[in-house]
Amino acid sequence: MKVLKKEKLFANSSYKRLFISSTAASFGDLFDMFAVITLFTYVWHANSLWITLIPVAYALPSILLSQAAGNLADRYDKVQLMFLSELIRLLFTSLLFFTTEPLLALGVLTLRSMSSVMKVPAQTARLRSRSGQRRAAASGLYFTKHYVSNCQSCGAVSRSRRADDYNAKSMHFS
């Protein structure tokens, strides 16, 4: 029986770089959702229905396309898939600057979310290949960070909806 040497998870420099970069990207996604909610609420004066559709535009492509994304991540180079996904996401983010109404913005957000669906399985496969002995701990830590950032995004939408409802009520009684 071979005895495995115990090593710390963050001692692996490749894992540490991937974890730090994906953590920064998760916070970027959170600030992105804040910016989109702000755009919908204060620039376009969208009602709470449009604001509620923002997380749907973010999550629906992931729900529908995650199986196909996993298959692509198994067949192709993970780093190239992550790079291509981020490049396409950059193009759709740039296109978002030119949208003038909420419906068009939701379409662009949905397309951008479709492009980022490929990144998650590729990151997970890359993470598992780089973490060495501590795969379960690495995956658990990575997904904990991923779901915490998603919960923060959902909380932002909830707070925005409450503020929108409060503003609507206060305007009604004025």
Mean pLDDT, residues 44-63 taken together: 94
Name the nearest CA neighbour of 158 among 37, 39, 43, 36: 37
Task: Evaluate whether residue 7 is within a structural domain.
Answer: no
Q: Which two tokens stand for residue 166?
A: 């409060």
Q: Which residues of 68-78 are buried (b: 16+ CB within 10 A; e: fewer)?
A: ebbeebeeeeb
pLDDT band at 171, cuts 50/70/90?
very low
Number of domains present in the structure of the chain: 1
Query: Which of 95-109, 118-132, 149-163 is the most confident on average?
Result: 95-109
Task: Give residue-wise pLDDT tens across range 125-145.
Answer: 877 776 554 555 555 555 555
Sequence-distant contacts of 136-143: CB under 8 A, at least 24 apart: 137/9, 138/9, 138/15, 141/9, 141/19, 142/19, 142/22
User: Cα–Cα distance between 70 and 120 in angstroms, integer?
Assistant: 9
48-75 vs 78-96: helix crossing angle, rounded to 10: 160
Check: pTM over 0.85? Answer yes or no.
no
User: Cα–Cα distance between 41 and 17 in angstroms, integer?
Assistant: 36
Task: Evaluate whether residue 3 is within a structural domain.
Answer: no
- Please tell me which residue, 99 or 22, carries the higher pLDDT value: 99
Task: Evaluate whether residue 109 is within a structural domain.
Answer: yes
Predicted local distance difference test score (pLDDT) of residue 97: 92
* Mean confidence (pLDDT) of the chain: 79
Task: Give residue-wise pLDDT tens across range 12-35.
Answer: 787 788 788 888 888 988 899 999
Find the angle CA(93)-CA(95)-CA(100) to the nearest 5 degrees: 115
Predicted local distance difference test score (pLDDT) of residue 128: 73
User: Cα–Cα distance between 10 and 125 in angstroms, integer?
Assistant: 18
Task: Give residue-wise pLDDT tens across range 59-98.
Answer: 999 999 999 998 988 899 998 999 999 999 999 999 999 9
Task: Evaluate whether residue 1 is within a structural domain.
Answer: no
Predicted local distance difference test score (pLDDT) of residue 122: 86
Task: Evaluate whether residue 160 is within a structural domain.
Answer: yes
Predicted local distance difference test score (pLDDT) of residue 113: 94
User: Cα–Cα distance between 31 and 36 in angstroms, integer?
Assistant: 9
Task: Evaluate whether residue 6 is within a structural domain.
Answer: no
User: Cα–Cα distance between 174 and 171 in angstroms, integer?
Assistant: 5
Residue 105's domain spans which residues? 12-173
- Please tell me which residue, 149 or 67, carries the higher pLDDT value: 67
Helical H segments across 117-134, by residue range = 119-130
Task: Evaluate whether residue 143 is within a structural domain.
Answer: yes
Q: Which two tokens stand for residue 168?
A: 């609507």
Task: Evaluate whether residue 167 is within a structural domain.
Answer: yes
